[in-house]
Amino acid sequence: MSSIKISQLPAFTKINANTSNTLFVGVDIPSAQTFQFTAHTLAQGLYSNETLSVGNNPNTLPNTVAQFASNGASYVQTNLVNTDDGGTADIVVTANSGSGGTDAAYFTDLGFANKNVQPGLEFNNLGTALSPLDGYLYVQGNSVGVPSTANGGNLIIGTTTTNTQIKFIAGGYNSGNIVAIITGDGIKMVNGHPIFFTDGTSQNTAAATFAYSNAAFAAANTASNNITIIQGVDTTQNTWIASNAVFSQAAFNKANTSVQNTAVIQLQSLTLSGNLIANTVGQSISVDTFLSNSATFNKNLVVLGNLSANTLLGNIFFSNVTTITTQANSILWTQQAGVVSQQTGQLWYSSNTQSLVLDTDIAGDRPSISKVLFFRAYNNTGATIPANSFVRLTGGITANLIPYIALADATSAANATVAGFVSNGITNGAYGFVYSSGLVENFNASGLGVGGDVLYLSASPGQSSNVAPTGSNTVVQVARVLSNDPVYGKISVQIQLRQAYGRTNGQMLYVYANNIVSSNTISVNDATGTVNANTIIANTFVYGSATANAMVTQLTSKSTAVTANGMSGQITMHNAALAGQGYVTFTVNNSYVKHVNDIPFVAIQNGVTTPNPYQVCVGGVAVGSFNISVYNSDSGGGSSHSDAIVLNWGLIGVGN
């Protein structure tokens, strides 16, 4: 045993980054057990039932989980940073789990986006409202008006004391950069900032409007003026009503003739509050060309041809495009029984597959968007990627953020990370489409096997086979063939790592050269809980909690046999006297001793007398039992001792 004092040990100024590599010694007072534990265990339990307090100020507030305090002449700060330039750093406060709170629903998020954040791809999606290096504060909550959850989801920002303000700054941080303030009286624009409208105009005073309103009010309250004006209005109005009646009748007669209007209508603004319909049931309205900067239909619009914005960047917004008014906010697609001509950006409904089909700019790549996941990719490998190939991502992207791809193969873990299937070949330096999951249809599948075949990634780049690779190759299931038709072929892309496929039951898998390979010498029999191996090397051997343990007390005398079945345990010996220079042997009956080659071992846990005069050893092994001998080495006066010696014992099974 070492005699070095703790104060003589070398001093460490820093704990190992892997806290499992640092050991402490402790004493559990309730059980009087001395034990070892790692810094990781210490960290896990250190603040389990305590307030986290950082700094030298005492915690004086109730219900405090954590407090951070420091004395800084300029400022103090608590810093949160995401060291991945493609991520965000967020402080997220969620509702209780009983209220449905997670980091994806019912939460408040205060955060900052790093320089390579891709808007719309971050975890808590703010979409294109977020840009790199933006800060943000928002709430994810209930939708107002949802039954049983009518309230919630609001963001409350303000002050709760009188005569206070909320200030908005932009373009700087001084008082001159304050754009607007909110007080208890309302919103006020300051520092000469106007209010801008969507038509490009702005306003920073209401003086003219106020003057006109007062003049109109004064005129309206002059009774003599009102009478004269009203009389004049009545005379003029009656004249126009009579004239308009004639024009209206003429227009009605013209509209009900069968003459077709073939002219082109060009409008700056058209608003229809009702329906656009033919004047007789069964007739139709045919528009060859319709050009407008603003056309609003509040009810139904039936379009049999194309409806396009009049500029490349124009938009068409639909609030209710349908022939059935009860189906609000829906688009009713005309079902196409056959295959329509492919046009880039065209979206059409196939009655055969009962799904929407999206036409891409690659001939033959026409995915059913409700059946398959796909993405656009770029080939920079220097060679053509053949049709019907399985590919992987190479880690780079183009200037327009399209990922690079290359042929996948089973020869290494890196090459076997399959991203998807390419049904149409992609030449070097060109874009194409990769199908990552779902049904791929209407392509030449004649070389992929027969219907029902399960396909595995081959060791040959890009290829697949209905036979899984063997040896050190990585086993990846990539698809199932549904039809190998040369025109209407169909497969289900389903990428799964299947390293255990084809291996013997119980065979051990392990990592070698970045691959998972199978062992020919190590196996597991789960039914018996047995691991078979030629050699096991371990720094520590620990019996698990499920191992049978026996705790027994010896009766009558120190030579009385005991029964202690199990793989380990503890024996408290009888306290009969044992003379100095004398020894005693007793038998431990144990049904776990299956073979004479099994190895029992024993140690003194508590000899009672100090200093300890006892020595102990295993004196014999038989099937079903072993002997323990205890020797009293004391030869001085009072050498006989009467102690209830506590022995720890264990068993290593060797035979079978």
CA 545 to chain centre: 35
- pTM (two decimals): 0.41
Alpha-carbon distance of 624 to 308, in angstroms, equals: 91
pLDDT, residue 275, reads 53
| Closest listed residue to residue 372, CA positions, set 355, 389, 360 | 355
pLDDT, residue 564, reads 93
| Closest listed residue to residue 138, CA positions, set 129, 146, 147 | 129
Across 341-350, 552-561, 606-615, the highest mean pLDDT is recorded for 552-561
What does the pLDDT look like over 236-269, one tens digit per residue?
Answer: 666 766 666 676 666 666 555 534 444 445 555 5
Residue 60: which pLDDT band, with cuts at 50, 70 and 90?
confident
Residue 373: pLDDT over 90:
yes
645 contacts 608 by C-beta, under 8 angstroms:
yes
φ/ψ bin of 566: left (φ > 0), alpha (ψ from -120 to 50), beta (otherwise): left
Helix locations, 139-222, DSSP H: 207-220
What does the pLDDT look like over 179-209, one tens digit per residue?
Answer: 899 998 889 888 888 888 888 888 877 655 5
pLDDT, residue 391, reads 97
Strand, helix or coil at 270?
Answer: strand
pLDDT, residue 598, reads 92
Residue 230: pLDDT over 60:
no
Half-sphere exposure of 487 (CA within 13 A, CB side): 1
Alpha-carbon distance of 154 to 27, in angstroms, equals: 52
Query: What is the CB neighbour count within 10 angstroms for residue 556?
Result: 9
Residue 273: which pLDDT band, with cuts at 50, 70 and 90?
low
φ/ψ bin of 17: left (φ > 0), alpha (ψ from -120 to 50), beta (otherwise): alpha
Residue 384: pLDDT over 80:
yes
Residue 511: pLDDT over 90:
no
310 contacts 291 by C-beta, under 8 angstroms:
yes
**What CATH class is the domain 549-652?**
mainly beta
Query: What is the CB neighbour count within 10 angstroms for residue 155?
Result: 9
What does the pLDDT look like over 98-122, one tens digit per residue?
Answer: 777 787 778 888 999 999 888 877 6
pLDDT, residue 334, reads 81
Query: What is the CB neighbour count within 10 angstroms for residue 456?
Result: 24
Q: Among all chains, which residue has been given the structure tokens 């986006």?
A: 113
Residue 437: pLDDT over 60:
yes
Alpha-carbon distance of 99 to 94, in angstroms, equals: 9
Domain boundaries, the chain: 263-331, 371-497, 503-530, 549-652
What does the pLDDT look like over 565-589, one tens digit per residue?
Answer: 988 999 999 999 999 889 999 999 9
| Closest listed residue to residue 387, CA positions, set 433, 420, 418, 422 | 422
DSSP 88: E
> Phi and psi dihedrals of 211, rounded to 5?
-65, -45
DSSP 362: S
What does the pLDDT look like over 276-286, one tens digit per residue?
Answer: 554 454 455 55
Query: Residues 6 or more apart from 492 whose CB is under 8 A from it?
Result: 438, 439, 440, 479, 480, 482
Of all helices (H) and strands (E), which one includes residue 235?
helix 223-255
pLDDT, residue 253, reads 63
3 contacts 24 by C-beta, under 8 angstroms:
no
- Between 410 and 504, the more confident residue is 410
Residue 320: which pLDDT band, with cuts at 50, 70 and 90?
very low
310 contacts 293 by C-beta, under 8 angstroms:
yes
Residue 439: which pLDDT band, with cuts at 50, 70 and 90?
very high
What does the pLDDT look like over 134-168, one tens digit per residue?
Answer: 998 988 877 654 445 556 778 889 998 988 999 99
Residue 438: pLDDT over 70:
yes
Residue 349: which pLDDT band, with cuts at 50, 70 and 90?
confident
pLDDT, residue 545, reads 56
| Closest listed residue to residue 551, CA positions, set 571, 575, 565 | 571
Alpha-carbon distance of 352 to 361, in angstroms, equals: 23
Of all helices (H) and strands (E), which one includes residue 178?
strand 178-183
Residue type at 107?
A: F
pLDDT, residue 215, reads 65
Task: Please give the span between the terminal C-alpha atoms of the chain, in angstroms, as a whole number.
Answer: 37
> Phi and psi dihedrals of 616, rounded to 5?
-140, 150
| Closest listed residue to residue 72, CA positions, set 59, 57, 60, 82 | 57
Residue 364: pLDDT over 60:
yes
The token pair that represents 397 in the structure block: 């992207």
Residue 231: pLDDT over 70:
no
